[in-house]
A and B are shown apart, each in its own frame.
Chain A
């Protein structure tokens, strides 16, 4: 036994798969201890905040200001407001307003801005321009306003007695705050989703829930498959015929279709994560049963089983001690595959909107479902779905690696 375990850990594939899986487990276990937010708490007002570090603006005014003089600060500031499309749009406006095309240098920010400030007039009517275009130019103009000036912005507050604005201070363009000194900074490594939840926190819990679904489904499926396979393989005869008939029925009806039907008939409100796991488990034991059965059939006529019979052991004893240990490694491999396919089945169901109800816990499938409903993929909000795909792929990949590794250890013919 010890020997086998040592051998298992000598298989490179198994070790890689095991490490990835353990890594995922560690993150899933320890992340909630560090970030204590409720995973489904809506923190952002608005949808799909991009990944980044969010610094509280109000607090940063109160934090100590430092003057740092950087040569490229102004250029960066302008560049941020004025991308290539904007420059092109400015040029188009200027040309339409009658400036010669040769006079416009699109790359020279200063001359472009000068031309713009001197010529732009929101009241000018340019033929063929829609209202939306006009609004765009007005917005652009406001954004560019004052970019070239060197005066800062004044911060004021309302005096509660007089109602007049009172100056609190000036924020100059060379003022900086140290992020470490701002009391409220929120890192959103994966941004927020359509509901304004922190995607990373949600993803970690979703992974934990999905793993639990996978494990429950895998255990149920493996248990049913194992028991039916053992019984029908060892006892044979009529029992075998009946069990195989049921098994074949399940094979003819693809288990995913069955899953969809059962899931649908349970109804949205009754579908907790656990229910879904049980349903997945009850629809995916078929291949385990068949595989175990064929292994048992090849084992039941072995001489060590015959010897056990001759030693007066009962059928239950023989199945438990003379058959089961010989297929244990196989069953472990089947379990691993069942877990990963359980996770995939949950994802598939949830994408179709037949997963667990959405009110209590996130799952990987539900996250995909939400991203899809709110069109994250069309809007280019990759952080709402791409990390989920990566996690699903990593789990499936690590489990399959472990499975192949085990296969190599237990099946000498596959060793390299």
Chain B
């Protein structure tokens, strides 16, 4: 089914263990996957199933205990700091908890300026930088004039998550790992945020990987769904395959937890 498509991120036997001996937790347990370029991918699992841990390994923020990760078909090599920096130009993330994602000592401006610098715009004139930041903020429905000189913790959780997306708008990565990007946002604005992310995907051609415990959201946005249970991918396939014809009782349970799946989401926008 994926003939002709290039995998941008793959994993073989990726495992992460925390602790030793009796305290050992296997957070991610030998998962195999191929995420294809241009697809929208969702990883769904209940709390504690290892989604965030997997995302951090994909980002190269923590090392896998075992297994290999392939980036654009080649074995990923991010040994040195320079290579990591290069890697992070292609892969970015939205973290699960916006409240702990920002340095409380830095102003919002510096969060966005960092992104401009990352894209090689460090030497741009001040007006140009402000223009870019204003554009990024308005893309996520924030007003840069109101945010400038403020601290991230002065924003609401939802505003902080939107600021996160503004970062992505400036960084234009090829892959985005979005870990519960709408956890702080009410059900109505949720669709707006998801639409924004979709729009961003179309504009800059990135591959979004959504991480969520909400199978309804996964069905709403994604092409391919991976179901994660206790560190393992128990089921995967197209959204329709997995969600309309679940093969595993675990998937069925996840679906049952979202009883009004068809009513809650306006499917016409997908």
Q: Is A69 an interface residue (CB 8 A)?
A: no
A313 contacts which chain B residues (CB < 8 A)?
114
- Find out whether the CB atom of B97 lies under 8 angstroms from the CB atom of A303: yes
**CB proximity to B under 8 Å, residues A303-360:** 303-304, 306-315, 321-322, 325-326
Which residues of A are found within 8 Å of B106, using beta-carbon distances?
321
Q: Are A303 and B95 in contact (CB under 8 A)?
A: yes
Q: Which residues of B contact A41 (CB under 8 A)?
A: none
Residue of B nearest to A310 (CB): B88
| Interface residues of A, dominant DSSP | helix
Interface 0/1 of B67-108, CB less than 8 Å to A: 000000000000001001100110011011100111111100
Which residues of B, 205-247, contact A by the 8 Å Cβ criterion? Answer: none
Instruction: Check if B61 is an interface residue, CB within 8 A of chain A.
Output: yes
Residue numbers in B under 8 Å from A308 (CB-CB)? 103, 114
Please tell me if the beta carbons of B114 and A302 are within 8 angstroms of each other in the complex. no
Check B103–A312 contact: CB distance below 8 A: no
What distance in Å separates the Cβ of A161 from its nearest Cβ neighbour in chain B?
Answer: 89
**Is B115 in contact with chain A by the CB < 8 A criterion?**
yes
Known interface pairs A309-B61, A310-B88, A321-B105; A303-B100 also in contact (CB < 8 Å) = yes
Count chain B residues whose beta carbon lies closer than 8 angstroms to a beta carbon of A. 26
CB atoms of B118 and A307 under 8 A apart: no
Q: Does the CB pair B114–A304 fall under 8 Å?
A: no
Q: Which residues of B contact A311 (CB under 8 A)?
A: 111, 114-115, 117-118
CB distance from B164 to the nearest CB of A (A): 9
A residues within 8 A CB of B118? 311-312
Which of chain A's residues has its CB closest to B114's CB? A311
Closest chain A CB from B255 CB (angstroms): 30
Do B103 and A322 have beta carbons less than 8 Å apart?
A: yes
Task: Select the residue from A310, A312, A321 with max chain B CB neighbours within 10 A.
Answer: A310
A325: chain B residues within 8 A (beta carbon): 103, 105
Known: A306-B61, A307-B95. A312 touches B101 (CB 8 A): no
Residues of B within 8 A of A314 (CB): 81
> A360 to B56, alpha carbons, bound, how many Å?
61
Indicate if the CB atoms of B102 and A307 lie closer than 8 Å. yes
Residue of B nearest to A311 (CB): B114
Q: Which residues of A contact B100 (CB under 8 A)?
A: 302-304
- Of the four ranges (under 10, 10 to 19, 20 to 34, 35 or more), the interface on chain A belongs to 10 to 19
Cα A313 to Cα B96 with chains together (Å): 21
Q: Is B193 an interface residue (CB 8 A)?
A: no
- Chain B: minimal CB distance from A310 (Å): 5
B165 within 8 A of A: no
> B267 CB to closest chain A CB, in angstroms?
33
Inter-chain contact B117/A312, CB cutoff 8 Å:
yes
B51 to chain A, nearest CB (A): 15
- Annotate B169-194 by CB proximity to A: 1 below 8 A, 0 otherwise: 00000000000000000000000000
How far is it, in angstroms, between the C-alpha of A129 and the C-alpha of B104 when the chains are bound?
A: 87
In the complex, what's the smallest C-beta–C-beta distance from B203 to chain A, in angstroms? Answer: 20
Return the chain B residue nearest A315 by Cβ.
B81
List of A residues within 8 angstroms of B92 by Cβ: 310
Which residue from chain A places its CB closest to the CB of B89 in the assembled complex?
A312
Q: Report the bound CA distance from A294 to B118 in whole Å.
A: 31
Given A312-B85, A314-B81, A315-B81, A307-B101 contact (CB < 8 Å): yes
Most buried by A among B59, B61, B115: B61
Q: Nearest Cβ distance between residue A271 and chain B, in whole angstroms? A: 42
Chain B residues with Cβ below 8 Å from A315 are: 81
Chain B residues whose C-beta falls within 8 Å of the C-beta of A321 in the assembled complex: 103, 105-106
> B2-39 vs A: 1/0 string, CB under 8 Å?
00000000000000000000000000000000000000
Task: Determine the distance from Cα of A314 to Cα of B81 in the docked complex, in whole angstroms.
Answer: 8
Chain A residue at minimal CB-CB distance from B98? A303
Tell whether, in the assembled complex, residue B114 and residue A312 are in contact, meaning their CB atoms are under 8 Å apart.
Answer: yes
Contact with A along B36-60 (1 / 0, CB 8 A): 0000000000000000000010010
Alpha-carbon separation in the docked complex, A302 to B103 (Å): 10
B81 & A310 in contact (Cβ 8 Å cutoff): no
B81 neighbours in A (Cβ, 8 Å): 314-315
Which residues of chain B are within 8 angstroms of A312 by Cβ–Cβ distance? 85, 88-89, 114, 117-118
Residues on the A chain within 8 Å of B104, using CB: 304
For B84, list chain A residues within 8 Å (CB): 309
Tell me which residues across on chain B come within 8 A of A326, comparing CB atoms.
105
Q: Give the distance in Å from the alpha carbon of A313 to the alpha carbon of B103 in the complex.
A: 13
Q: Which A-chain residue is minimally distant from B119 (CB atoms)?
A: A312
B105 contacts A310, C-beta separation under 8 Å: no
Interface contact B103-A304, CB-CB below 8 Å: yes
Closest 3 A-B residue pairs measured CB to CB?
A311-B114, A325-B105, A303-B101
Q: Name 25 interchain pairs, CB-CB below 8 A, sorted by A.
A: A303-B96, A304-B100, A304-B101, A304-B103, A306-B59, A306-B61, A306-B101, A307-B95, A307-B101, A307-B103, A309-B61, A309-B84, A309-B88, A310-B88, A310-B93, A311-B115, A311-B117, A312-B85, A312-B88, A312-B89, A312-B117, A313-B114, A314-B81, A315-B81, A326-B105
With A303-B101, A304-B102, A313-B114 already in contact, 7 other A-B pairs whose C-beta atoms are closer than 8 Å = A301-B62, A303-B95, A310-B92, A311-B115, A312-B114, A312-B117, A321-B106
